[in-house]
Amino acid sequence: MKKIQIPRGTQDILPGTVELWQYVESKARDLCRRFNYQEIRTPLFESTELFQRGVGETTDIVEKEMYSVANPRSTDALTLRPEGTAGAVRSYVENKMYGSPNQPTKLYYLGPMFRHERPQAGRYRQFVQFGVEAIGSSDPAIDAEVIGLAIRLYQELGLTGLSVELNSVGTLEDRARHREVLLAHLNAVRSELCEDCQSRIDRNPLRVLDCKNEKCRTLTKDAPSILDYLSEETAAHFEAVKGYLDALEIPYYVNPRLVRGLDYYTQTAFEIKMAEIGAVETLCGGGRYNGLVAELGGDDMPGIGFALSIERLLLALEKKGIQLPTETGIDCYLVVQTPEAKRTAFVLADQLRQAGVSAEIDYLDRKMKAQLKQADRLEARFTAIIGEAELANGTVVVKEMATGEQEEVKQSELVAALVAKRG
Protein backbone atom coordinates (compact mmCIF):
# COMPACT_ATOMS: atom_id res chain seq x y z
CA MET A 1 0.00 0.00 0.00
CA LYS A 2 1.31 3.45 -0.90
CA LYS A 3 2.65 5.51 2.00
CA ILE A 4 0.91 8.77 2.79
CA GLN A 5 3.44 11.60 2.95
CA ILE A 6 3.42 14.91 4.74
CA PRO A 7 1.97 17.86 2.76
CA ARG A 8 4.48 20.06 0.96
CA GLY A 9 5.57 23.03 3.03
CA THR A 10 4.98 21.36 6.39
CA GLN A 11 7.26 19.45 8.74
CA ASP A 12 7.21 16.90 11.52
CA ILE A 13 9.00 18.19 14.59
CA LEU A 14 10.40 15.05 16.15
CA PRO A 15 11.73 14.15 19.60
CA GLY A 16 15.30 15.40 19.79
CA THR A 17 14.32 18.57 17.92
CA VAL A 18 11.09 19.49 19.67
CA GLU A 19 13.10 20.21 22.82
CA LEU A 20 14.71 23.14 20.99
CA TRP A 21 11.26 24.49 20.20
CA GLN A 22 10.17 24.08 23.81
CA TYR A 23 13.24 25.94 25.03
CA VAL A 24 12.72 28.88 22.66
CA GLU A 25 9.01 29.02 23.42
CA SER A 26 9.67 29.03 27.17
CA LYS A 27 12.15 31.89 26.68
CA ALA A 28 9.55 33.87 24.73
CA ARG A 29 6.89 33.28 27.38
CA ASP A 30 9.21 34.27 30.21
CA LEU A 31 10.28 37.43 28.37
CA CYS A 32 6.63 38.41 27.87
CA ARG A 33 6.01 37.86 31.58
CA ARG A 34 8.84 40.26 32.39
CA PHE A 35 7.49 42.84 29.92
CA ASN A 36 3.91 42.36 31.27
CA TYR A 37 2.41 40.90 28.07
CA GLN A 38 -0.35 38.34 28.58
CA GLU A 39 -1.06 35.38 26.32
CA ILE A 40 -4.06 35.29 23.99
CA ARG A 41 -5.18 32.24 21.99
CA THR A 42 -7.43 32.88 19.01
CA PRO A 43 -9.02 30.34 16.60
CA LEU A 44 -6.93 28.71 13.88
CA PHE A 45 -9.54 29.84 11.36
CA GLU A 46 -11.54 33.05 11.15
CA SER A 47 -13.90 34.79 8.77
CA THR A 48 -12.13 35.50 5.47
CA GLU A 49 -13.45 39.05 5.70
CA LEU A 50 -11.35 39.61 8.83
CA PHE A 51 -8.15 39.22 6.84
CA GLN A 52 -9.47 41.03 3.77
CA ARG A 53 -10.26 44.07 5.92
CA GLY A 54 -7.55 43.65 8.53
CA VAL A 55 -4.54 42.67 6.43
CA GLY A 56 -5.54 44.40 3.19
CA GLU A 57 -6.84 43.21 -0.17
CA THR A 58 -3.73 44.46 -2.03
CA THR A 59 -1.33 42.36 0.05
CA ASP A 60 0.32 39.18 -1.21
CA ILE A 61 -1.19 37.35 1.77
CA VAL A 62 -4.79 38.09 0.76
CA GLU A 63 -4.26 38.02 -3.01
CA LYS A 64 -2.17 34.85 -3.25
CA GLU A 65 -1.45 33.01 -0.02
CA MET A 66 -4.56 32.36 2.06
CA TYR A 67 -6.11 28.93 2.59
CA SER A 68 -9.85 29.65 2.39
CA VAL A 69 -12.91 27.40 2.22
CA ALA A 70 -16.62 28.00 1.89
CA ASN A 71 -18.60 27.85 5.12
CA PRO A 72 -21.23 25.14 4.46
CA ARG A 73 -23.78 26.84 6.72
CA SER A 74 -23.19 30.45 5.71
CA THR A 75 -22.33 32.70 2.82
CA ASP A 76 -19.17 33.69 4.67
CA ALA A 77 -15.89 32.02 3.74
CA LEU A 78 -13.47 30.82 6.39
CA THR A 79 -9.68 31.15 6.27
CA LEU A 80 -6.87 29.47 8.16
CA ARG A 81 -5.14 32.35 9.90
CA PRO A 82 -2.17 33.63 7.87
CA GLU A 83 -0.99 36.00 10.65
CA GLY A 84 -1.85 36.84 14.25
CA THR A 85 -2.56 40.56 14.50
CA ALA A 86 -5.98 40.64 12.85
CA GLY A 87 -7.33 37.88 15.10
CA ALA A 88 -5.89 39.49 18.23
CA VAL A 89 -7.44 42.86 17.36
CA ARG A 90 -10.75 41.21 16.48
CA SER A 91 -10.73 39.58 19.92
CA TYR A 92 -9.75 42.88 21.56
CA VAL A 93 -12.82 44.53 20.05
CA GLU A 94 -15.24 41.62 20.46
CA ASN A 95 -14.32 40.96 24.09
CA LYS A 96 -14.17 44.64 25.03
CA MET A 97 -10.63 44.38 26.35
CA TYR A 98 -10.40 48.17 26.08
CA GLY A 99 -12.64 48.27 29.17
CA SER A 100 -10.04 46.60 31.36
CA PRO A 101 -8.37 48.92 33.92
CA ASN A 102 -5.01 47.51 32.83
CA GLN A 103 -4.21 49.71 29.85
CA PRO A 104 -2.67 49.63 27.37
CA THR A 105 -3.70 46.08 26.54
CA LYS A 106 -0.47 44.08 26.08
CA LEU A 107 -0.89 40.67 24.48
CA TYR A 108 1.24 37.92 22.99
CA TYR A 109 0.48 34.81 20.97
CA LEU A 110 2.40 31.73 19.96
CA GLY A 111 0.99 29.26 17.46
CA PRO A 112 0.68 27.97 13.90
CA MET A 113 -0.13 30.18 10.90
CA PHE A 114 -0.81 29.12 7.30
CA ARG A 115 0.25 30.65 3.97
CA HIS A 116 0.49 29.11 0.52
CA GLU A 117 4.08 30.19 -0.16
CA ARG A 118 6.95 28.62 -2.06
CA PRO A 119 8.69 26.48 0.56
CA GLN A 120 12.37 27.18 1.21
CA ALA A 121 14.77 27.23 4.15
CA GLY A 122 13.03 28.92 7.04
CA ARG A 123 9.75 29.32 5.14
CA TYR A 124 6.90 26.84 5.41
CA ARG A 125 3.23 26.74 4.52
CA GLN A 126 2.44 25.91 8.12
CA PHE A 127 4.73 27.86 10.43
CA VAL A 128 4.78 28.91 14.06
CA GLN A 129 4.62 32.59 14.83
CA PHE A 130 5.41 34.41 18.06
CA GLY A 131 4.01 37.92 18.21
CA VAL A 132 3.08 40.71 20.57
CA GLU A 133 0.46 43.45 20.37
CA ALA A 134 0.23 46.61 22.49
CA ILE A 135 -3.13 48.32 21.96
CA GLY A 136 -4.31 51.62 23.39
CA SER A 137 -1.19 53.81 23.54
CA SER A 138 0.32 56.18 20.99
CA ASP A 139 3.40 56.78 23.17
CA PRO A 140 6.58 56.37 21.05
CA ALA A 141 8.18 54.70 24.06
CA ILE A 142 5.99 51.65 23.56
CA ASP A 143 7.16 51.44 19.94
CA ALA A 144 10.70 51.16 21.27
CA GLU A 145 9.58 48.68 23.94
CA VAL A 146 8.07 46.37 21.31
CA ILE A 147 11.24 46.51 19.19
CA GLY A 148 13.30 46.01 22.33
CA LEU A 149 11.33 42.93 23.37
CA ALA A 150 12.14 41.23 20.06
CA ILE A 151 15.81 42.21 20.26
CA ARG A 152 16.09 40.99 23.86
CA LEU A 153 14.73 37.57 22.86
CA TYR A 154 17.39 37.19 20.17
CA GLN A 155 20.10 38.43 22.52
CA GLU A 156 19.13 36.09 25.34
CA LEU A 157 19.30 33.17 22.92
CA GLY A 158 22.81 34.23 21.94
CA LEU A 159 22.25 35.73 18.48
CA THR A 160 24.52 38.51 17.27
CA GLY A 161 25.01 40.27 13.95
CA LEU A 162 21.43 41.51 13.86
CA SER A 163 20.34 44.71 12.10
CA VAL A 164 17.23 46.74 12.87
CA GLU A 165 15.75 48.54 9.87
CA LEU A 166 13.43 51.38 10.81
CA ASN A 167 11.08 53.66 8.91
CA SER A 168 7.94 55.71 9.32
CA VAL A 169 5.23 55.07 6.73
CA GLY A 170 3.28 58.05 8.05
CA THR A 171 -0.39 58.55 8.76
CA LEU A 172 -3.14 58.40 6.15
CA GLU A 173 -2.83 62.19 5.78
CA ASP A 174 0.94 61.96 5.34
CA ARG A 175 0.54 59.29 2.69
CA ALA A 176 -2.08 61.34 0.85
CA ARG A 177 0.48 64.17 0.45
CA HIS A 178 3.12 61.69 -0.62
CA ARG A 179 0.83 59.81 -2.99
CA GLU A 180 0.65 62.49 -5.69
CA VAL A 181 4.41 62.79 -6.18
CA LEU A 182 4.93 59.03 -5.83
CA LEU A 183 2.30 58.34 -8.50
CA ALA A 184 4.00 60.76 -10.86
CA HIS A 185 7.25 58.85 -10.46
CA LEU A 186 5.66 55.41 -10.76
CA ASN A 187 3.46 56.26 -13.75
CA ALA A 188 6.56 57.32 -15.67
CA VAL A 189 7.88 53.75 -15.44
CA ARG A 190 4.57 51.90 -15.12
CA SER A 191 4.95 49.82 -18.29
CA GLU A 192 8.34 48.50 -17.15
CA LEU A 193 7.20 47.39 -13.68
CA CYS A 194 6.10 43.85 -12.90
CA GLU A 195 2.44 42.89 -13.18
CA ASP A 196 1.92 43.03 -9.40
CA CYS A 197 3.38 46.53 -9.15
CA GLN A 198 1.29 47.78 -12.05
CA SER A 199 -1.77 46.50 -10.22
CA ARG A 200 -0.78 48.17 -6.96
CA ILE A 201 0.04 51.61 -8.34
CA ASP A 202 -3.56 52.77 -8.29
CA ARG A 203 -4.66 50.86 -5.19
CA ASN A 204 -1.71 51.30 -2.82
CA PRO A 205 1.31 52.87 -4.54
CA LEU A 206 3.47 52.75 -1.39
CA ARG A 207 3.41 48.95 -1.63
CA VAL A 208 5.30 49.14 -4.94
CA LEU A 209 8.39 50.07 -2.90
CA ASP A 210 8.07 46.72 -1.13
CA CYS A 211 8.49 44.71 -4.33
CA LYS A 212 11.39 42.25 -4.25
CA ASN A 213 11.77 42.19 -8.05
CA GLU A 214 15.24 43.64 -8.79
CA LYS A 215 14.11 45.47 -11.91
CA CYS A 216 11.26 47.13 -9.99
CA ARG A 217 13.63 48.10 -7.21
CA THR A 218 16.00 49.68 -9.71
CA LEU A 219 13.17 51.59 -11.42
CA THR A 220 11.93 52.95 -8.09
CA LYS A 221 15.26 53.58 -6.33
CA ASP A 222 14.87 57.36 -6.78
CA ALA A 223 11.19 57.42 -5.82
CA PRO A 224 10.29 60.27 -3.42
CA SER A 225 10.60 59.23 0.22
CA ILE A 226 7.62 59.22 2.57
CA LEU A 227 9.96 60.68 5.20
CA ASP A 228 9.95 63.99 3.31
CA TYR A 229 6.15 64.23 3.62
CA LEU A 230 5.59 63.49 7.30
CA SER A 231 3.67 66.02 9.37
CA GLU A 232 5.49 67.70 12.26
CA GLU A 233 3.64 65.43 14.70
CA THR A 234 4.51 62.23 12.81
CA ALA A 235 8.12 63.28 12.35
CA ALA A 236 8.38 64.09 16.06
CA HIS A 237 6.97 60.66 16.90
CA PHE A 238 9.58 59.02 14.68
CA GLU A 239 12.40 61.02 16.25
CA ALA A 240 11.16 60.07 19.72
CA VAL A 241 11.14 56.36 18.79
CA LYS A 242 14.74 56.66 17.62
CA GLY A 243 15.63 58.47 20.83
CA TYR A 244 14.19 55.69 22.99
CA LEU A 245 16.06 53.06 20.95
CA ASP A 246 19.24 55.07 21.46
CA ALA A 247 18.53 55.08 25.20
CA LEU A 248 18.23 51.27 25.12
CA GLU A 249 21.47 51.12 23.11
CA ILE A 250 19.71 49.23 20.33
CA PRO A 251 21.44 50.10 17.02
CA TYR A 252 19.28 50.69 13.95
CA TYR A 253 19.38 52.33 10.58
CA VAL A 254 16.63 54.16 8.73
CA ASN A 255 15.48 52.50 5.50
CA PRO A 256 13.07 54.83 3.65
CA ARG A 257 11.96 51.96 1.38
CA LEU A 258 10.76 49.80 4.25
CA VAL A 259 6.96 49.68 4.06
CA ARG A 260 6.22 46.09 5.18
CA GLY A 261 3.81 43.83 3.34
CA LEU A 262 0.59 44.56 5.23
CA ASP A 263 -1.81 47.42 4.55
CA TYR A 264 -2.61 48.21 8.18
CA TYR A 265 0.76 49.77 9.06
CA THR A 266 0.99 53.47 10.01
CA GLN A 267 3.92 55.49 11.33
CA THR A 268 6.60 53.19 12.79
CA ALA A 269 7.59 50.16 10.69
CA PHE A 270 10.58 47.93 11.40
CA GLU A 271 12.32 44.69 10.51
CA ILE A 272 15.08 42.73 12.21
CA LYS A 273 17.41 40.96 9.80
CA MET A 274 20.38 38.61 9.79
CA ALA A 275 22.11 38.12 6.46
CA GLU A 276 23.72 34.81 7.43
CA ILE A 277 20.48 32.84 7.22
CA GLY A 278 20.34 33.10 3.43
CA ALA A 279 17.60 34.22 1.06
CA VAL A 280 15.03 34.66 3.83
CA GLU A 281 17.00 37.13 5.93
CA THR A 282 14.12 38.84 7.77
CA LEU A 283 13.74 37.35 11.23
CA CYS A 284 11.06 39.67 12.57
CA GLY A 285 8.81 42.46 11.35
CA GLY A 286 6.26 44.80 12.82
CA GLY A 287 4.97 48.30 13.23
CA ARG A 288 2.09 50.56 14.20
CA TYR A 289 -1.47 49.97 13.02
CA ASN A 290 -3.37 52.94 14.41
CA GLY A 291 -6.43 52.51 12.18
CA LEU A 292 -6.88 48.76 12.49
CA VAL A 293 -9.07 48.66 15.60
CA ALA A 294 -11.55 51.04 13.98
CA GLU A 295 -11.40 49.09 10.70
CA LEU A 296 -12.49 45.98 12.60
CA GLY A 297 -15.44 47.69 14.29
CA GLY A 298 -13.97 49.15 17.46
CA ASP A 299 -13.28 52.68 18.61
CA ASP A 300 -10.27 54.31 17.01
CA MET A 301 -7.41 53.03 19.16
CA PRO A 302 -3.67 53.04 18.40
CA GLY A 303 -1.69 49.81 18.37
CA ILE A 304 1.73 48.37 17.62
CA GLY A 305 3.16 44.87 17.43
CA PHE A 306 5.54 42.45 15.80
CA ALA A 307 5.63 38.84 14.69
CA LEU A 308 8.52 36.45 14.18
CA SER A 309 8.84 32.94 12.82
CA ILE A 310 10.13 30.31 15.25
CA GLU A 311 11.42 28.32 12.24
CA ARG A 312 13.58 31.22 11.08
CA LEU A 313 14.78 31.84 14.62
CA LEU A 314 15.92 28.22 14.96
CA LEU A 315 17.56 28.41 11.52
CA ALA A 316 19.47 31.52 12.62
CA LEU A 317 20.64 29.76 15.77
CA GLU A 318 21.80 26.81 13.66
CA LYS A 319 23.67 29.06 11.23
CA LYS A 320 25.43 30.72 14.16
CA GLY A 321 26.31 27.35 15.69
CA ILE A 322 24.49 28.18 18.92
CA GLN A 323 23.71 25.15 21.06
CA LEU A 324 20.68 25.63 23.27
CA PRO A 325 20.93 24.17 26.79
CA THR A 326 18.04 21.77 26.44
CA GLU A 327 17.55 19.00 28.97
CA THR A 328 18.00 15.42 27.80
CA GLY A 329 17.80 12.06 29.46
CA ILE A 330 15.68 10.71 32.28
CA ASP A 331 16.22 10.46 36.01
CA CYS A 332 15.79 6.75 36.53
CA TYR A 333 15.49 3.53 34.54
CA LEU A 334 14.12 0.59 36.50
CA VAL A 335 15.85 -2.67 35.52
CA VAL A 336 14.14 -5.97 36.37
CA GLN A 337 15.13 -9.63 36.24
CA THR A 338 11.79 -11.42 36.50
CA PRO A 339 8.12 -10.85 35.59
CA GLU A 340 7.34 -10.57 39.29
CA ALA A 341 9.94 -7.84 39.67
CA LYS A 342 8.42 -6.00 36.72
CA ARG A 343 5.12 -5.60 38.55
CA THR A 344 6.98 -4.02 41.48
CA ALA A 345 8.99 -1.78 39.16
CA PHE A 346 5.82 -0.72 37.37
CA VAL A 347 4.35 0.55 40.65
CA LEU A 348 7.61 2.20 41.72
CA ALA A 349 7.86 4.00 38.36
CA ASP A 350 4.41 5.46 38.91
CA GLN A 351 5.34 6.61 42.42
CA LEU A 352 8.52 8.25 41.10
CA ARG A 353 6.61 10.06 38.38
CA GLN A 354 4.07 11.36 40.87
CA ALA A 355 6.99 12.75 42.90
CA GLY A 356 8.35 14.62 39.87
CA VAL A 357 11.08 12.11 38.98
CA SER A 358 11.19 11.00 35.34
CA ALA A 359 11.23 7.21 35.16
CA GLU A 360 11.05 4.44 32.58
CA ILE A 361 10.81 0.64 32.58
CA ASP A 362 11.22 -2.02 29.93
CA TYR A 363 8.17 -2.94 27.79
CA LEU A 364 9.96 -5.23 25.30
CA ASP A 365 10.90 -8.10 27.64
CA ARG A 366 14.62 -7.40 27.26
CA LYS A 367 17.26 -9.26 29.25
CA MET A 368 18.89 -7.32 32.12
CA LYS A 369 22.00 -6.55 30.05
CA ALA A 370 19.86 -5.12 27.25
CA GLN A 371 17.85 -3.08 29.76
CA LEU A 372 21.06 -1.53 31.08
CA LYS A 373 22.07 -0.64 27.51
CA GLN A 374 18.67 0.97 27.03
CA ALA A 375 19.22 2.99 30.21
CA ASP A 376 22.46 4.27 28.65
CA ARG A 377 20.65 5.20 25.42
CA LEU A 378 18.09 7.16 27.41
CA GLU A 379 20.90 8.92 29.32
CA ALA A 380 19.44 7.80 32.65
CA ARG A 381 21.16 9.38 35.65
CA PHE A 382 20.30 6.39 37.81
CA THR A 383 19.21 2.81 37.41
CA ALA A 384 17.11 1.04 40.01
CA ILE A 385 17.78 -2.68 39.75
CA ILE A 386 15.37 -5.31 41.09
CA GLY A 387 16.67 -8.86 40.85
CA GLU A 388 15.38 -11.97 42.56
CA ALA A 389 17.25 -11.18 45.80
CA GLU A 390 16.03 -7.56 45.89
CA LEU A 391 12.49 -8.66 45.21
CA ALA A 392 12.67 -11.12 48.10
CA ASN A 393 14.21 -8.54 50.44
CA GLY A 394 11.94 -5.66 49.41
CA THR A 395 14.93 -3.59 48.29
CA VAL A 396 16.29 -1.87 45.18
CA VAL A 397 19.91 -1.36 44.08
CA VAL A 398 20.30 2.27 43.01
CA LYS A 399 23.26 2.89 40.71
CA GLU A 400 24.52 6.32 39.65
CA MET A 401 25.42 5.81 36.00
CA ALA A 402 28.10 8.49 35.75
CA THR A 403 30.20 7.24 38.67
CA GLY A 404 29.16 3.61 39.00
CA GLU A 405 28.47 4.12 42.70
CA GLN A 406 25.55 2.11 44.01
CA GLU A 407 23.64 1.49 47.19
CA GLU A 408 20.78 -0.72 48.30
CA VAL A 409 17.66 0.98 49.61
CA LYS A 410 14.26 -0.22 50.68
CA GLN A 411 11.57 -0.10 48.03
CA SER A 412 9.52 2.12 50.31
CA GLU A 413 12.42 4.62 50.48
CA LEU A 414 13.28 4.70 46.74
CA VAL A 415 11.21 7.78 45.95
CA ALA A 416 12.68 9.84 48.79
CA ALA A 417 16.21 8.67 47.92
CA LEU A 418 15.96 9.66 44.23
CA VAL A 419 14.22 12.95 44.98
CA ALA A 420 17.14 13.81 47.26
CA LYS A 421 19.78 12.67 44.74
CA ARG A 422 18.36 14.62 41.80
CA GLY A 423 18.29 17.82 43.91
pTM for this model (two decimals)? 0.90
CA distance 13 to 19: 9
Per-residue pLDDT of the chain (423 residues; tens, 9 = 90+): 899 999 999 999 999 999 999 999 999 999 999 999 999 999 999 999 999 998 887 677 888 899 999 877 777 899 999 999 999 999 999 999 999 999 999 999 999 999 998 888 888 999 999 999 999 999 999 999 999 999 999 999 999 989 999 999 999 898 889 888 888 888 777 778 888 887 788 777 887 887 778 888 887 888 888 898 899 999 999 999 999 999 999 999 999 888 876 677 899 999 999 876 665 688 999 999 999 999 999 999 999 999 999 999 999 999 999 999 988 899 999 999 999 999 999 999 999 999 999 999 999 999 999 999 999 999 999 999 999 999 999 999 999 999 999 999 999 999 999 999 887
pLDDT tens figures, 173-226: 988 898 888 888 887 777 788 888 877 887 778 878 877 788 888 878 888 888
pLDDT of amino acid 277: 67
Domain boundaries, the chain: 18-171+231-319, 332-422
The CATH class that applies to domain 332-422 reads: alpha beta
> Does this chain's domain 18-171+231-319 share its CATH topology with 332-422?
no
The CATH class that applies to domain 18-171+231-319 reads: alpha beta
